[in-house]
């Protein structure tokens, strides 16, 4: 009887249980130290904004900042004002927006598909490695993703109901998406909806006069940012920013930063080829990449075979395929740039999963193979790479392993057997990352954050701590202030007791030249967002880390 009640509880609450497990991982991520370079830089900019009170003009280390729009800085700065400087306060707005993005994905999917497909879509999106990463290594993409899918959901409600409330909310979402990451916000929305209207031949929706009202709402929302850019940059042609003489802030945000990466107008370029995102998504959309690829292939095949525009919607087609290829044309790419397409990818994968898994049993064996691989990685990580330091984590992982096999063996529907066992596996994998691997990684190998905390704990004032040739944004954030840099010839002019953070090469130079400094502490340092196998392997890790030093002026 007891077992029957347990089984009944699991079966009744199975989706809620796995979603709760995902939220637990998100919760752990809130308290992990921000990682250099990007997340720590954005955290320090938000800190600086909260300290100087200037919200219309963005500064970084007391210098003009011209890269990302200000919305993420506004939200984190406001969070700092409420909760103080902390990892939790910096990441909380991103977590709340993640929940908005998940809810919007669920509600949008329900407009065209079954409730089960909507449930699977939200769980697929929530459990991708990309989403787990976005709640840990927080950047601007979380805000962009959330506001884009929110606006598309609301605008499709407007198309169906012709209600002003949904129109207004939809274009507020567009405006906030642009405040989060520039014109890409409105481009994704236009591409997704435009693809749908064109394929469905719903021309009347393309030429609705109400879109003009929506654009006015967007302009009003962008007005504070535009004014700040104009006063900070366009009114000061004498400024040199990022080696640019008198750049226009308005032009930079509305053209150069986004479209300029395709046209070549942007100075940001790298050697990433057209297929960069084809490779990066193979990991970032794990463990569901198989169903995304098969779902896309099946949809494209059916489209050309029937040559009829009879699908329930083509918004996901425009939102994923069109934007994916457009971003692939950019001359500067990072893996997280395509995260904005993940809600559409999740819907494509969920729709395919629900339709096909009961018919194609061969998928069962492929997914089991990948699940076993994840469990092997978990065991290796827990024992050989970063050994567990307490008994609670292994116990939790054993429990999730048992739950994964319980779902696999006891669920009647093949779709649930695959789906729930896979989510239990990926929760276990990310529990290892969030509660053990990343805390140990940044705690032992991100020297800037450790030094910043140490300086703050020792009560050193901002003028009693400097850096020489070696600066980390995490150091500013965890010291809770902007650290000044010096040259080596400035050391003799420092007052006694000042601490100096420097590299191994400079440390040996200081010792060789007999400068008046004494050794305080040595730290291991590694770029924690650029993990490599030699670093992960415990036996070769020491060969990959650099030594950095904290000295004191005598």
- Highest mean pLDDT: which of 89-103, 195-209, 234-248, 322-336? 89-103
Alpha-carbon distances, residue 332 vs 222, 397, 474 (angstroms): 25, 39, 25
Is residue 1 predicted with pLDDT exceeding 50? no
Question: Residue 146: which pLDDT band, with cuts at 50, 70 and 90?
Answer: very high
pLDDT value at position 300?
A: 78
- Highest mean pLDDT: which of 61-70, 100-109, 232-241, 493-502? 100-109
Is residue 2 predicted with pLDDT exceeding 60? no
Question: Residue 262: which pLDDT band, with cuts at 50, 70 and 90?
Answer: low
Q: What is the pLDDT of residues 196-216, one digit of tens each?
A: 999 888 899 999 999 999 999
Token code pair at residue 532? 């490599």
Neighbours of 265 (CB within 10 A): 14
Residue 390 has what DSSP assignment? S
Is residue 138 predicted with pLDDT exceeding 60? yes
pLDDT value at position 121?
A: 96
d(CA 149, CA 104): 6
Across 526-541, average pLDDT? 89
d(CA 199, CA 311): 10
For a pLDDT cut of 70, what percent of the chain falls above it?
A: 95
More confident residue, 275 or 114: 114
pLDDT value at position 358?
A: 61
Answer CATH for 447-553 from 1.10.3470, 3.40.190, 3.90.660, 3.40.30 = 3.40.190
More confident residue, 4 or 356: 356
For a pLDDT cut of 90, what percent of the chain falls above it?
A: 59
Is residue 332 predicted with pLDDT exceeding 80? no
Q: What is the pLDDT of residues 380-419, one digit of tens each?
A: 988 888 888 888 999 999 999 998 988 888 877 777 888 8
Global pTM value: 0.92
Q: Give me the chain's average pLDDT, please.
A: 89
Beta strands in 436-537 (DSSP E): 465-468, 484-486, 499-503, 517-525
| Gyration radius of the chain's alpha carbons | 25
Find the angle CA(177)-CA(182)-CA(187) to the nearest 5 degrees: 75
Domain ranges of the chain: 90-356, 362-445, 447-553
Is residue 4 predicted with pLDDT exceeding 80? no
pLDDT value at position 270?
A: 63
Q: What is the pLDDT of residues 46-105, one digit of tens each?
A: 999 999 989 999 999 888 888 889 999 999 999 999 999 999 999 999 999 999 999 999
d(CA 109, CA 155): 13
Nearest to 111 by CA among 152, 69, 82, 167: 152
Question: Residue 276: which pLDDT band, with cuts at 50, 70 and 90?
Answer: confident
pLDDT value at position 429?
A: 95
Question: Residue 271: which pLDDT band, with cuts at 50, 70 and 90?
Answer: low
Buried b (16+ CB within 10 A) or exposed e, 304-333: eeeeeeebebbbbbbbbbbbbeebbebbeb
More confident residue, 379 or 409: 379
d(CA 92, CA 76): 8
d(CA 343, CA 141): 12
Q: Could you please report the per-residue DSSP string of 219-247?
A: HHHHHHHHHHHIIIIIT-TT-EETTEES-
């Amino acid at each position: 009887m007891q077992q029957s009640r347990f089984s009944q509880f699991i079966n009744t609450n199975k989706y809620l249980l796995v979603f709760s497990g995902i939220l637990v991982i998100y919760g752990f991520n809130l308290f992990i130290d921000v990682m250099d370079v990007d997340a720590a830089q954005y955290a320090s900019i938000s800190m600086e904004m909260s300290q100087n009170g200037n919200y219309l003009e963005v500064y970084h280390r007391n210098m003009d900042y011209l890269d990302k729009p200000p919305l993420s800085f506004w939200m984190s700065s406001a969070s700092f004002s409420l909760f103080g400087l902390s990892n939790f306060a910096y990441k909380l707005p991103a977590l709340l927006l993640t929940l908005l993005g998940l809810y919007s994905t669920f509600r949008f999917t329900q407009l065209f598909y079954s409730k089960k497909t909507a449930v699977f879509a939200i769980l697929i999106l929530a459990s991708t490695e990309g989403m787990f990463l976005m709640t840990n290594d927080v950047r601007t993409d979380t805000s962009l993703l959330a506001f884009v899918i929110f606006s598309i959901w609301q605008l499709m409600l407007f198309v169906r109901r012709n209600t002003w409330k949904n129109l207004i909310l939809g274009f507020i979402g567009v405006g906030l998406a642009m405040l989060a990451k520039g014109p890409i916000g409105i481009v994704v929305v236009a591409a997704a909806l435009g693809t749908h209207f064109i394929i469905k031949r719903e021309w009347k929706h393309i030429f609705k006069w109400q879109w003009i009202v929506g654009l006015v709402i967007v302009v009003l929302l962008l007005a504070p940012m535009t004014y700040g850019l104009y006063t900070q940059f366009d009114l000061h042609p004498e400024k040199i920013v990022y080696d640019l003489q008198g750049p226009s802030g308005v032009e930079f945000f509305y053209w150069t930063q986004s479209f300029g990466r395709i046209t070549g107008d942007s100075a940001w370029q790298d050697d990433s080829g057209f297929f960069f995102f084809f490779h990066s998504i193979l990991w970032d959309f794990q463990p569901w990449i198989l169903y995304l690829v098969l779902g896309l292939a099946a949809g494209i095949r059916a489209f050309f075979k029937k040559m009829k525009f009879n699908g329930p919607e083509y918004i996901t087609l425009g939102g994923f395929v069109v934007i994916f290829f457009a971003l692939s044309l950019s001359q500067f790419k990072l893996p997280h740039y395509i995260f904005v397409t993940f809600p559409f990818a999740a819907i494509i994968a969920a729709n395919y999963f629900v339709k096909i898994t009961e018919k194609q049993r061969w998928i069962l064996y492929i997914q089991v193979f990948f699940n076993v691989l994840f469990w092997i990685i978990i065991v290796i990580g827990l024992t050989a790479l970063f050994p567990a330091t307490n008994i609670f984590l292994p116990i939790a992982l054993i429990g999730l392993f048992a739950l994964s096999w319980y779902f696999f063996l006891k669920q009647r529907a093949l779709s649930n057997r695959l789906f729930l066992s896979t989510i239990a596996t990926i929760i276990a994998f990310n529990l290892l990352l969030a509660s053990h691997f990343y805390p140990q990684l940044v705690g032992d190998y991100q020297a800037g954050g450790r030094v910043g905390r140490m300086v703050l704990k020792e009560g050193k004032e901002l003028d009693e701590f400097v850096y020489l040739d070696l600066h980390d944004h995490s150091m500013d954030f965890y010291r809770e202030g902007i650290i000044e840099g010096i040259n080596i010839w400035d050391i003799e002019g420092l007052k006694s007791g000042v601490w100096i953070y420097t590299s191994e090469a400079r440390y040996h130079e200081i010792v060789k030249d007999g400068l008046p400094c004494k050794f305080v502490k040595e730290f291991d340092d590694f770029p924690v967002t650029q993990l490599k196998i030699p670093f992960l392997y415990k036996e070769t890790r020491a060969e990959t880390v650099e030594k950095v030093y904290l000295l004191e002026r005598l």
